[in-house]
Structure 1
Amino acid sequence: MTCVAFYAPMKSPHSVVPSGDREMARNLMQAIGQRDGVDVDLVSELKIYDKAGDEARQADLRQQAEAEVDRLIRDLPRDTELWVTYHNYYKAPDLIGPRVCAALDIPYVQIESTRAYSRLTGPWSGFAQAAHDACDAARVIFYLTANDLITLERERAGTQTLVHFPPFLPAVRLPEASTLSGPMLATGMMREGDKLRSYEIIAETLAHLTGDWQLDIAGDGPARAQVEALMAPYGSRVRFLGQLDRAALDKTYRAASLFLWPGVNEAFGMVYLEAQAHGLPVVAQDRPGVRDVLLGDGYPATEVGTKALASLVMSLLHDPGHRATWGANAREMIANTHLRPAATARFWSAVAPHLKGSR
């Protein structure tokens, strides 16, 4: 049995608060554990996250991390052959894994780690340095987007290996394809900041559309009133579906004609993978992270700007053949690169030479 220690400093996979980070952590544990003879253990649920740059909070989190390091050095099973940390960055550095691994001689790897040199001064300076130190300790760093690779490659530590790890869906096969005959679909949490800005861009885009169109919006949150106000000028053309469970959301994907989500500051966005798995053309802005998970080769994200988004929407709505071709190509891309079996194979191919038991 190969025992793997797993840790996510920003948010535990067992958190009761839904988020993309929680889902990705859960998916990673499943993907890593899909190999025969592998046991993945969530070894700590200590949340090390400072949203505001509060030095007192950072000091308190460091004290908690010290206690957790002592506990794990004492109690971690001695047959642990690998440690995996998900999402190490300046607001949520891994203060635990590198020290435990050094003490117990366990190979240490990271998935989705970033180096933010602009944060080495200012209120997060200590946490940013800790995140860099954790990066340096990793034998393998799996990066999800080309944007993350820039600084990881520039500051690569020693013989450290950097491996592209495309985001993936927790499925072994594609879902049922969309009929591409229903309303457009947008889905995203309704909260202040980047999500609300994406909804603002959608509202601005709709103003440029002509003809008979419909938009369904799946999602809810504290900024729902603002989103509803943004869409009020379009009356019944925009329908709010609320927060949908997985079965209901899949049904909505299967009926939509295209997926519209600008993607303001999205790390990558699992909804893009879900939409494309159902064969939906995706209309999004050409942004770092977003472009990494969208179909290329003639079907790129459009340039940043609402008129460009509207032009692409109109071309898709008026050409069913274009939608069908785009959708079929998107499904092929997801099947080849963004399902769980591909993620499992890519992970173990990279880390197998570093396993403690293989040395």
Structure 2
Amino acid sequence: MTAPPVAGPRIAFYAPLKPVDHPVPSGDRQMARLILRALKATGPVEVASSLRVYDGAGDPATQARLTAAAAAECDRLLSLYAADPARRPALWLSYHVYYKAPDLIGPVIARRLGIPYAVIEATRARKRLTGPWSAFAAAAESAIEAADLVLCVSARDRQAVEAYGPPGQRVAMLPPFLDLPPAVERPEPGSPPRLLTVAMMRPGDKLASYRLLADALTLAAARPWTLDIVGDGPAAAEVAALFAPFGPRVTLHGACAPAALAAHYAGADLLVWPGLNEAFGMVYLEAQAHGVPVLAVDNAGTGTVIRDGLCGRLTGPAPQEFAATLAALLSDLPALRALGRSARAHVEAHHALTAAAQRLRGLLTGLMP
């Protein structure tokens, strides 16, 4: 995906984990698209490459193949910039660099062109330097160390980046953000209250979160509620089996287009998603932006976008704790609605795209000549 030449300091943007034109929706793709929109709102930017560099299985052969593809992409870009100097970027910016999806392109191009290199959401996992991802982990560590600026979306990532970063590396926070939907007056909570879950269905932490949610709802089965689940993926059959015992109280809708998803948010009284090991979870911001309070397990990622007691509730990882907190929320529906109003106000104040665009461009402009 490329754009015609434009005047002014150009930023080259790259998302190795999930390119902006990837066909499968996810929080990573959404965040990459939002960063691109934020950059375009204040100056010229070009998506430099759509090469996906991701190894989810820890396969050395896959890592070798992707490393070779990235080297070829570096050659292509360097030839492009040499032939068309108007396309030459003044800065390279990559989004989400970690041991399963290192940036094998940005540091090379930045070094060869003598331009600054910046990263949004860098996760350092030094324990992965041994094991099946060792080659990619080393590449991710090298890329993060090469960055002139690292913008962190969570305090957890910032701590690791600062702890192991080279002297003089600039590190700053860039809270996750989204384009706010119009504010609307929401109806009173339904009878029974309408719960909503929006999440991909895949093995690992996602499936573990679905299991926790099913266990918690079993414990809260005596309470009145219904649940709509929006999502799809390779673990869809396992998820369906987990919620089959609830019968018509739970409806699985599969993947939904944006308009249909917005309608689900509009009809929900509470988003319930444990979010085990979430980096932050775009779904929480989306729900709050629609005036829907959220219930999640407390960790460094969810705490980045959820203010406990203001936007919803954060709870412990045991199903009993999740169920007890859910029961407390459902026992006071006026308070639940008030949480939704304050959630919307919090997102407006701290996670809006317009403010993030200005902050992002300001941080990056300071690196460019």
TM bucket normalised to smaller:
over 0.9
Shift of 1:165: 1.0
Given candidates 162, 177, 187, the residue that maps to 1:179 is: 187
**CA RMSD across the alignment:** 1.8
- Kept in 1: contact 2:197–2:273 (CA 8 A): yes
CA deviation map 1:24-62 (0-9, x unaligned): 111111111110xx2211111222222222222222222
| Counterpart amino acid of residue 207 in structure 1 | T
Instruction: Look up the match of 1:68.
Output: 73
Instruction: Look up the match of 2:62.
Output: 57
Given candidates 20, 27, 43, the residue that maps to 1:20 is: 27
CA deviation map 1:168-215 (0-9, x unaligned): 1134x5443542523111122223322222121111111222232222
> Scaled by the length of structure 1, what TM-score is found?
0.92
- Kept in 1: contact 2:270–2:292 (CA 8 A): yes
Instruction: Look up the match of 2:350.
Output: 337
Q: Aligned pair in 2 of structure 1 residues 225, 62: CA closer, same or farther (>3 Å)?
A: closer
Given candidates 183, 189, 197, the residue that maps to 2:208 is: 197
| Counterpart amino acid of residue 356 in structure 2 | A
Secondary structure (helix, strand or coil) at the match of 2:44 reads: strand
Q: Within 5 Å, give how 1:284-323 maps onto structure 2.
A: 284-296=296-308, 300-323=313-336
Given candidates 252, 261, 284, the residue that maps to 1:240 is: 252
Instruction: Look up the match of 1:213.
Output: 225
Please say if 1:162 is aligned against 2:182.
no
- Kept in 1: contact 2:26–2:200 (CA 8 A): no
Instruction: Look up the match of 2:44.
Output: 39
Percent of counterpart pairs with the same letter?
43
Please say if 1:107 is aligned against 2:107.
no
- Kept in 1: contact 2:313–2:325 (CA 8 A): no
Shift of 1:219: 2.1
With 297-306 and 345-354 compared, the bigger mean Cα shift is at 297-306
Secondary structure (helix, strand or coil) at the match of 2:285 reads: helix
> Scaled by the length of structure 2, what TM-score is found?
0.90
Q: Aligned pair in 2 of structure 1 residues 192, 130: CA closer, same or farther (>3 Å)?
A: closer
Please say if 1:188 is aligned against 2:199.
yes
Q: Aligned pair in 2 of structure 1 residues 89, 177: CA closer, same or farther (>3 Å)?
A: farther
Instruction: Look up the match of 1:80.
Output: 89
Shift of 1:297: 5.7
Please say if 1:274 is aligned against 2:286.
yes
Shift of 1:271: 0.8
Secondary structure (helix, strand or coil) at the match of 1:272 reads: helix
Give the unaligned 5+ runs of structure 2. Answer: 1-7
With 111-120 and 320-329 compared, the bigger mean Cα shift is at 320-329
| Counterpart amino acid of residue 344 in structure 1 | A
Shift of 1:240: 2.3
| Counterpart amino acid of residue 344 in structure 2 | R
Which runs of structure 1 show a deviation greater than 4 angstroms over 4 or more consecutive aligned residues? 297-300
Instruction: Look up the match of 2:138.
Output: 129
Shift of 1:334: 0.4
Q: Distance in 2 between matches of 1:346 and 1:259?
A: 29
Shift of 1:325: 2.2
CA deviation map 1:51-105 (0-9, x unaligned): 2222222222222222222222222254521110111111211111111111111
| Counterpart amino acid of residue 19 in structure 1 | S
- Kept in 2: contact 1:177–1:278 (CA 8 A): no
Instruction: Look up the match of 2:266.
Output: 254
Instruction: Look up the match of 1:138.
Output: 147
Secondary structure (helix, strand or coil) at the match of 1:127 reads: helix
Q: Distance in 1 between matches of 2:112 and 2:234?
A: 45
Please say if 1:326 is aligned against 2:334.
no
Q: How many residues align?
A: 353
